[in-house]
A and B are shown apart, each in its own frame.
Chain A
Amino acid sequence: MTVELVGFLMVFVLAVFVGFEIITRVPPTLHTPLMSGSNAISGITIVGAIVVVAAGYTGAARWLGVVALAMATINVVGGYVVTQRMLNMFTTRKKSRRRGRS
């Protein structure tokens, strides 16, 4: 076990604790945006995909990387956009209340 690995473990464990601490008392209204917003963060694997693809390997590693990059990008872009769309619905209501056919 290397010192580097222990460092990574420390980062992991502390981040889990931070995660538990900051996500407290989420109002139910925000459950879905929180989920899709955090889902976009899990697209961070895009960074790993970029490293793999940029290195320009040949063969299987190349195509695995490109597909991974495309999927991670969908996750990141789609996740943030759809979260913003949802959150806008929660907030714009006060400013411009769309009156229906009433």
Chain B
Amino acid sequence: MISTPLLHLAYLVAAVLFIMGLRQLCSPRTAPKGNATSALGMLIAVAATLLAFEIIQPVDLLLGVGAGILIGGVLAWRIQMTAMPQLVALFNGLGGAASALVVLAELTRPKATPLESSSLVAAGVGILIGNITLMGSLMAFGKLQGVIPTGAIRSRILPWLNLMLLLACLGFTGALVGAPDSMVIMLTLVGLSLVLGVTGVMSIGGADMPVMIAFLNALSGLAASATGFALHNEVLIVAGSLVGASGIILTNIMCKGMNRSLGNVMFAGVGVADGSGGALAAPGGGTVKQASPEEAALMLVESELVIVVPGYGLAVAQAQHAVRQLADELEKKGVEVVYAIHPVAGRMPGHMNVLLAEADVDYEKLKDLDEANPLFPQADTVLVIGANDVVNPVARTDTSSPIYGMPILDADKAASCLVLKRSMRPGFSGIENPLYSSDRTMMVFGDAKDTLLELIAQVKQN
């Protein structure tokens, strides 16, 4: 047993370690140490808590922790890197749910003195944010896993419904203060906030997923903070607010990558296909030129600089190893290969970077938007793999386009462009891409990985 001041000192140490860990996570050199530092903080917080409180129910404790270690460990070890967005969404959701459940346990436990009003408000907010995080993350998980249709659902009523649900939840939080023992109020709040989690994320399409995942990350932190206020536990407050702040920063970076505000992402519902597409006809009557793998390989081999633009299609086809092999073969022939990574390429912040790192691509070769765009006019060939909106020139020119103003990679400024794509179907946003019908662009249809393997074989022969 340790005394109460000692417990709070341990929490202080844990908070400092979290802060140091997060700081170190911001630089590639120190990042692995940063993760270990933050894990040490967590270990200290947990150990101190176990030592400070009288453990009346050790079996339950072992049951919960054991199940958690088993499930969490297996998931984390076995997950494929391409499925990382789903896993991050799932962990987010579980964190939010755990916060809400802790609050509910605190409310329903037998107590000698009733909870203070401030604790009750925090409890209501904890349930609200925790449940939104849970259901929002499960929706995101379902969309990423392909269980739930990935398109955005646009409805004029939905934003108003969400607003009303939110106000109702806040109202019931207020009611909870007046009647802390009312099961009806508590369960209504639980139910409404779960529904809000679903309807809130329903309107968000696949391409907006990076923003959503970063935002849910922030919410899972804020849920922990609210729980800390309800339980009067400062380490929950500190750790939760740190995560909330970092999540909000990431959300902001993602929003800038699309030149949209968070409100716009949440409520505008871009991603409703307008019914066009499917045929090989491009807008303006231009036709699309197709290249065979032989022609495509020749274009690549004869280039001096090739810029690879990866997108979500690369992850879907699990083609990250194939693309590195192709780059290796090209480099053997004296071709320089770099990768241009758009901030919102893929389905979560940094998605493409993780995939290419898994395939052992040197991160010096990964160029962000600002580094890559000056390189495009010098590039002989741009190889677009499963990316669409992030190279769509209408974002620069067409003020009526939903993606107008979004910073894009200037693939259309290169001497030639090869686009590997499954079909002519427009991307998740459902917006036609004039890059495909440009004179300088050749399309290679098929599964990205199969096409890349063919290209590798052809390049080897050249």
A and B interact physically:
yes
Contact with A22, one of B22, B57, B72 (Cβ below 8 angstroms)? B22
The answer to whether A37 touches B354, judged by C-beta atoms less than 8 angstroms apart, is no
Contact with A97, one of B77, B118, B360 (Cβ below 8 angstroms)? B360
Q: Chain A, interface size: which category?
A: 35 or more
Q: From known contacts A40-B39, A65-B101, infer whether A22 and B26 are also in contact, taking CB-CB under 8 Å.
A: yes
Q: From known contacts A35-B217, A38-B247, infer whether A65 and B99 are also in contact, taking CB-CB under 8 Å.
A: no
The answer to whether B357 touches A4, judged by C-beta atoms less than 8 angstroms apart, is no
Q: From known contacts A41-B22, A61-B108, infer whether A75 and B357 are also in contact, taking CB-CB under 8 Å.
A: no
Q: Nearest A residue to B342 by beta-carbon distance?
A: A28
The answer to whether B109 touches A101, judged by C-beta atoms less than 8 angstroms apart, is no
Is B388 positioned at the interface, with any CB of A under 8 Å from its CB?
no
The answer to whether B35 touches A47, judged by C-beta atoms less than 8 angstroms apart, is no
The answer to whether A61 touches B57, judged by C-beta atoms less than 8 angstroms apart, is no
- Tell me which residues across on chain B come within 8 A of A18, comparing CB atoms: 19, 242, 245
The answer to whether A78 touches B75, judged by C-beta atoms less than 8 angstroms apart, is yes
Measured in the bound complex, the distance between the Cα atoms of B361 and A97 in whole Å is: 10
Is B179 positioned at the interface, with any CB of A under 8 Å from its CB?
no
Q: From known contacts A4-B232, A23-B26, A54-B54, infer whether A32 and B84 are also in contact, taking CB-CB under 8 Å.
A: yes
Is B91 positioned at the interface, with any CB of A under 8 Å from its CB?
yes
Minimum Cβ distance to chain B for residue A63 (Å): 8
Is B68 positioned at the interface, with any CB of A under 8 Å from its CB?
yes
The answer to whether B243 touches A39, judged by C-beta atoms less than 8 angstroms apart, is yes
The answer to whether A86 touches B25, judged by C-beta atoms less than 8 angstroms apart, is no
The answer to whether B91 touches A78, judged by C-beta atoms less than 8 angstroms apart, is yes
Minimum Cβ distance to chain B for residue A39 (Å): 5
Is B92 positioned at the interface, with any CB of A under 8 Å from its CB?
yes
Contact with B94, one of A36, A50, A65, A74 (Cβ below 8 angstroms)? A74
**Which of the segments B150-158, B220-228, B405-413, B432-440 contacts the partner chain?**
B220-228
B 60-116 contacts with A by CB, 8 A:
60-61, 63-65, 67-69, 71-73, 75-77, 79, 81, 84, 87-88, 91-92, 94-95, 97-99, 101-102, 104-106, 108-110, 116
Measured in the bound complex, the distance between the Cα atoms of B77 and A72 in whole Å is: 17
- Tell me which residues across on chain A come within 8 A of B99, comparing CB atoms: 45, 48, 68
9 contacts between A and B (CB under 8 A): A8-B229, A11-B234, A15-B15, A28-B368, A61-B105, A66-B63, A67-B101, A73-B72, A102-B325
